[in-house]
């Protein structure tokens, strides 16, 4: 009988437990992006001053660029059979990886909270209670699904990809009945800062999936094509997010204050009342459940990776899994209840500020995996602080810090604006700097620095993913 409740956490998935096809990444990431928070993210491009036409173009470009980076991380899963963030130990050391891991956990608690605010509104309406009870009920369901684990997460993605796609087609038709699309697209006013804001919003959306995307591809057979995993992940994520964000752009441009005052209420109001309204509330909750489970599960994996780096354990008991997931769920619920009344502005700043921390991590991880280690890691050493990757990789941590600092002059948030923003007309290009600078620095440094504890340089032969056989 197939094991429904997942038993593994950060340990390697053996070949005899691998299953599925790369197409599963398309349905999961399509379903994970067709939801209300992605709609709000797209709307922000218009809310903060952009026009419809160039906002749509900017969002598409950001989804493709950020989605490509995210999909490169996804392709690591079948090769290694490991969750995403434990791979950071190869770059930062078994214990040094805790630095980006702490930030990852904070990020996913924040995404859990922001998603729960909007889903809580839908659940409250659906159950005829208030937002607070809706938030708590939604959080509990999220925790249960995340505890069951990998198989039910993918099943949920398949269901959400169909149900939410049908709902968005219907809502899109209703929205276009109200919107003068020709006038909206004809009123194009290109503004470089607003265009770059749109790119940054969608790119940060995609890059934020990077620290956990391989968690959901690691059970695929080792023989799964890297190209197939990349393209199915990119197409599902980019299509779903662009679809949702484009809807948000048109909704914000058409409805204005009516949309800003109640995003959930406006979307449901497009569909009508009675049974249809109840169905749309359910769709909103389903879409948010899909992505919130990913945030909870990914946050749990990251937290376990950080803690076990100091305890050097690979296997976690079912009781331990439940405890870690509960911790993530409770933290996210508390943040949601505290911040539910100031969601829209806070979420925009949250997204852009997070981008500052995860573009350097993503750049370092991808350069190391694809260019330095050539897609092969010594997996036993990832669990041994005295092994080839060492406890702390101060060179990589220095590059990571340099990547963070390099972005500050170009950063635009509600609480800080860098000194080089004004000369660029107010444009935020920090995420581009955050990818390029650490990628070049790490590549230059890694080509010249031996891996700690290893007799060969980083460009030499690295044991295969099985950890026992030399690579070709």
Rounded Cα distance between 424 and 281, Å, is 42
Percent of the chain with pLDDT strictly greater than 90:
46
pLDDT of residue 396: 93
The first and second tokens of residue 142, run together, are 């999220």
Does pLDDT of 246 surpass 70?
yes
Q: Got the DSSP string for 460-472?
A: S--B-TTSSSB--
- Cα–Cα separations (whole angstroms), residue 418 to 149, 359, 406: 42, 17, 11
Under CATH, which number does the domain 15-356 receive? 1.10.4160.10
Q: Got the DSSP string for 138-178?
A: HHHHHHHHHHH-HHHHHHHHHHHHHHHHHHHHHHHHHHHHH
Average pLDDT, the chain: 86
Whole-model pTM?
Answer: 0.88
- Between the CA atoms of 86, 91, 92 and 98, what dihedral angle is there, to the nearest 10 degrees? -20
Rounded Cα distance between 424 and 381, Å, is 45
Q: Which of 12-21, 182-191, 319-328, 419-428 has the lowest mean pLDDT?
A: 419-428
pLDDT of residue 324: 87
pLDDT of residue 312: 64
Does pLDDT of 300 surpass 60?
yes
SS3 at position 233: helix
The first and second tokens of residue 213, run together, are 């995307």
Rounded Cα distance between 456 and 449, Å, is 10
Selected residue with higher pLDDT from 442 and 412: 442
SS3 at position 412: strand
Contact 52, 187 (CB under 8 A): yes
Give residue 460's pLDDT band: very low, low, confident or very high (50, 70, 90): very low
Please choose, from the candidates 302, 433, 435, 432, the residue with its C-alpha nearest in 3D space to the C-alpha of residue 364: 435
Does pLDDT of 454 surpass 50?
no
The gap between the terminal CA atoms of the chain, to the nearest Å, is: 37
DSSP label at residue 424: G
Contact 384, 314 (CB under 8 A): no
């Amino acid at each position: 009988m197939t094991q429904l409740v997942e038993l593994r956490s950060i340990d390697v998935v053996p070949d005899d437990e691998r299953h599925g096809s790369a197409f599963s990444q398309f349905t999961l990431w399509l379903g994970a992006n067709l939801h209300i928070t992605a709609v709000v993210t797209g709307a922000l491009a218009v809310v903060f001053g952009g026009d419809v036409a160039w906002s749509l173009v900017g969002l598409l470009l950001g989804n493709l660029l950020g989605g490509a980076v995210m999909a490169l991380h996804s392709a690591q899963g079948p090769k290694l059979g490991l969750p995403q963030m434990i791979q950071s130990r190869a770059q930062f050391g078994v214990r040094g990886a805790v630095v980006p891991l702490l930030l990852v956990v904070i990020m996913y608690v924040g995404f859990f909270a922001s998603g729960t605010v909007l889903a809580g509104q839908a659940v409250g309406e659906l159950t005829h209670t208030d937002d607070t009870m809706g938030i708590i009920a939604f959080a509990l369901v999220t925790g249960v699904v995340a505890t069951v684990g990998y198989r039910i997460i993918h099943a949920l993605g398949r269901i959400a990809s169909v149900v939410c796609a049908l709902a968005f087609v219907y809502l899109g038709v209703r929205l276009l009945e109200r919107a003068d699309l020709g006038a909206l697209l004809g009123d194009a006013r290109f503004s470089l800062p607003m265009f770059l804001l749109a790119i940054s919003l969608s790119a940060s959306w995609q890059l934020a999936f990077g620290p956990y995307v391989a968690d959901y591809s690691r059970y695929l057979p080792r023989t799964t094509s890297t190209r197939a995993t990349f393209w199915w992940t990119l197409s599902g994520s980019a299509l779903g997010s662009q679809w949702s964000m484009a809807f948000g752009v048109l909704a914000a441009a058409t409805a204005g204050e009516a949309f800003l005052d109640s995003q959930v209420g406006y979307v449901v109001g497009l569909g009508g009342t009675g049974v249809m309204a109840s169905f749309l509330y359910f769709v909103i909750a389903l879409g948010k459940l899909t992505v919130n489970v990913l945030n909870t599960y990914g946050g749990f994996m990251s937290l376990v990776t950080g803690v076990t780096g100091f305890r050097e354990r690979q296997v976690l008991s079912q009781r331990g899994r439940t405890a870690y997931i509960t911790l993530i769920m409770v933290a996210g619920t508390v943040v949601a209840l505290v911040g539910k009344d100031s969601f829209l502005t806070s979420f925009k700043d949250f997204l852009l500020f997070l981008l500052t921390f995860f573009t350097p991590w993503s750049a370092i991880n991808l350069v190391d995996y694809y260019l330095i280690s050539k897609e092969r890691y010594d997996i036993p050493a990832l669990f041994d602080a005295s092994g080839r990757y060492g406890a702390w990789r101060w060179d990589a941590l220095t590059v990571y810090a340099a990547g963070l600092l390099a972005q500050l002059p170009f950063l635009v948030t509600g609480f800080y604006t860098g000194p080089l923003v004004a000369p660029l007309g107010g444009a935020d290009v920090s995420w581009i700097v955050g990818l390029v600078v650490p990628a070049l620095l790490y590549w230059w440094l890694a080509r010249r620095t031996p891996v700690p504890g290893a007799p060969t340089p980083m460009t030499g032969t690295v044991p295969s993913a099985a950890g026992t056989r030399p690579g070709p």
